[in-house]
Structure 1
Amino acid sequence: MTDTAAHTDWQTWQHSWDRQQQWYLPDREERFRTMLDTVEALVGPEPLVLDLACGTGSISDRLLTRFPNARSVGVDLDPALLTIARGHFADESRVRFVSADLRDPDWPARLPHQRFDAVLTATALHWLRTEELATLYGRIAGLVRDGGVFLNADHMPDERTPRINAAAHAYDKARRAREKEAGAQDWTEWWRAAAADPALAAAVAERDRIFGAPADDHADGQLQSPAWHARALLDGGFAEARTVWASPSDAMVLGLR
């Protein structure tokens, strides 16, 4: 680690990421709370968790705060977000981070554990195409112990309700505009600020080589309905699957092994 990185306030970067995400997802904390409620109900308060596509470690941060005896492994491909995560959790022995591409069939071999009590992810897998996500669900099923859980909270629109969808989209667009005028930072602005920080500049440049510029992120992704996700989890090897939380545009699906 460089001297610049060693003296960077990683907590400030972590919090700025959370604020930027909260602008897009005003119910973000609600979905995290529901996610952890479900984990506690089904696998108890001392879980070994795989924080999938972890970003800066937002799920792990809330997990370890709520459950002092929990442990977490965060996996992501984004070098900039992993840099923030590793800095933020530098003094935390309960979490480890792994760099891996979830489209690589061998990515589970990079993990320090073969089975987890819970695999958790939020607003991260929508960048995969439908067939890629179905394949990933099968691999995830192989990482969850019997009786363990997988929870995915993400954009899951229901095409059967076009008028509801349109009204929810218009409402959210107006909300974002108001908050943006009040000074909220959007995705592109956040990445521009990250690139300007000497402690993150090299990692952001590497990220751009992997994914393209932030404006191009997730350009090939596809969205599926909650019902599709539940069916895909069952097809992938989970014993039960259903929606456990929803907003007008997003949902959280649970797979139980």
Structure 2
Amino acid sequence: MTDYTAAPDGHADAPRPGTQSINAERWQESWDRQQTAFMPDREQRFAAMLDAVAATTDGRPPRLLDLAGGTGTISLRALARFTGADVTVLDQDPVLLAIAGASLRDRGTVIDADLSDPGWRAKLPREGFDAVLTATALHWLPAERVAALYAEVREVLRPGGIFANADHMPEESLPTLSAKLRDHARGVRENRYATGAATSWPDWWKLAAADEVLAPKAIERERIYPSARHHHEWTPPATWHVEALRAAGYTEAGILWRGGTDAAVVGVR
């Protein structure tokens, strides 16, 4: 690894020449601010998913798979909440994996795997997870792949284990209000960008690409995610996800949390 002492967004010291490690704390802080500009209730969805983990592990330290986990956001919150938690972050993004690895160090496992490939499970260190959690990630996959992935995730859970997916899932019975909520959120977000309170998604990635540590990872990322591919988003209503979970064999499936046009669905093996 390289050594990064300057934080992104101009909120840190200057980089020290010739050093070779990532300042994970500052990159995490920058990532959190950038993501919170998109989702002001981001922490609420994490809390709801971790509440479900707590309710289904009877006080045991959970074995948790942070699926498409990026910088390890969910894992870091699980470690803070559950003493002795066993966390695994799985993602394919080289930039985010580098930050996750620097953040977790010896407190968790970081795995590079492509969820569009059904063979992703072969890279896991174990199965029998208490929970598989993912947030704002699976909308990059097409419908048929998401449906198949739900069944694959079920196979890595212990009996009674849970899978929760929080993402953009509009309420189909409120189309007019949902459109107004999206427009309102966009206006608030754009104001935050204009005042410098948050960095936009494209600007955050420009900062990463300009950093001496993460620049090689950013080049690798562009090869993995060509711009045309990464602009695709597929965001069906929560009811689609609930039905897909039931079709995948979960004994229970439903909506765990909702905030505006986002929701978290959960399935119980």
TM-score (norm 2): 0.90
Q: Which moved more, 1:173-182 or 1:239-248?
A: 173-182
Report the counterpart of residue 202 of structure 1 in structure 2. 216
Aligned-residue offset at 1:194? 0.2
Report the counterpart of residue 52 of structure 1 in structure 2. 67
Counterpart check, 1:71 vs 2:86: yes
2:204 to 187, 190, 194: 190
Q: Report the Cα distance in structure 1 between the residues aligned to 2:158 and 2:82, rounded to whole angstroms.
A: 19
Q: Structure 1 residues 208, 160: CA separation in 2 closer, same or farther (over 3 Å shift)?
A: same
Counterpart amino acid of 2:268? L
Contact 2:209 2:215 in 1 (8 A): yes
Aligned-residue offset at 1:60? 0.4
Aligned-residue offset at 1:49? 0.3
Q: Report the Cα distance in structure 1 between the residues aligned to 2:141 and 2:42, rounded to whole angstroms.
A: 21
Q: Over residues 192-235 of structure 1, what are the superposed CA-to-partner deviations in whole Å (9 max), with x where a residue is unaligned?
A: 0000111000001000111024xx46333311111111111111
Aligned-residue offset at 1:169? 1.3
Q: Please give the root-mean-square deviation of Cα atoms over the aligned residues, in Å.
A: 1.4
Counterpart check, 1:232 vs 2:247: no
Aligned-residue offset at 1:250? 0.4
Q: Over residues 152-175 of structure 1, what are the superposed CA-to-partner deviations in whole Å (9 max), with x where a residue is unaligned?
A: 000011333221112101211111
Counterpart check, 1:242 vs 2:254: yes
Q: Report the Cα distance in structure 2 between the residues aligned to 1:70 and 1:254, rounded to whole angstroms.
A: 20
Instruction: Tell me the secondary structure at the aligned position of residue 50 of structure 1.
Output: strand
Contact 1:137 1:232 in 2 (8 A): yes
Contact 1:126 1:218 in 2 (8 A): no
Q: Report the Cα distance in structure 2 between the residues aligned to 1:134 and 1:171, rounded to whole angstroms.
A: 31
Counterpart amino acid of 2:194? E
Q: Over residues 67-106 of structure 1, what are the superposed CA-to-partner deviations in whole Å (9 max), with x where a residue is unaligned?
A: 011110110010110011111122xx33100000011111
Contact 1:43 1:147 in 2 (8 A): no
Counterpart amino acid of 1:11? E
Q: Report the Cα distance in structure 1 between the residues aligned to 2:193 and 2:223, rounded to whole angstroms.
A: 29
Instruction: Tell me the secondary structure at the aligned position of residue 6 of structure 1.
Output: coil
Alignment gaps of 5+ in structure 2: 4-17
Q: Report the Cα distance in structure 1 between the residues aligned to 2:223 and 2:164, rounded to whole angstroms.
A: 30
Q: Report the Cα distance in structure 2 between the residues aligned to 1:65 and 1:43, rounded to whole angstroms.
A: 16
Counterpart check, 1:116 vs 2:129: yes
Q: Report the Cα distance in structure 1 between the residues aligned to 2:145 and 2:157, rounded to whole angstroms.
A: 19
Instruction: Tell me the secondary structure at the aligned position of residue 149 of structure 2.
Output: helix
Question: Identity of counterpart residues, as a percentage?
Answer: 45
Q: State how many pairs are aligned.
A: 253
Report the counterpart of residue 87 of structure 1 in structure 2. 102
Output aligned runs, 1:145-156, within 5 Å: 145-156=158-169
Aligned-residue offset at 1:113? 0.4
Counterpart amino acid of 1:227? T
Q: Structure 1 residues 5, 37: CA separation in 2 closer, same or farther (over 3 Å shift)?
A: farther
Q: Report the Cα distance in structure 2 between the residues aligned to 1:43 and 1:231, rounded to whole angstroms.
A: 25
1:177 to 150, 168, 190: 190
Instruction: Tell me the secondary structure at the aligned position of residue 171 of structure 2.
Output: coil
Report the counterpart of residue 160 of structure 1 in structure 2. 173
Q: Report the Cα distance in structure 2 between the residues aligned to 1:255 and 1:21, rounded to whole angstroms.
A: 25
Runs of 4+ with deviation above 6 angstroms: none
Q: Report the Cα distance in structure 1 between the residues aligned to 2:25 and 2:48, rounded to whole angstroms.
A: 24
Output aligned runs, 1:8-47, within 5 Å: 8-45=22-59, 46-47=61-62
Alignment gaps of 5+ in structure 1: none
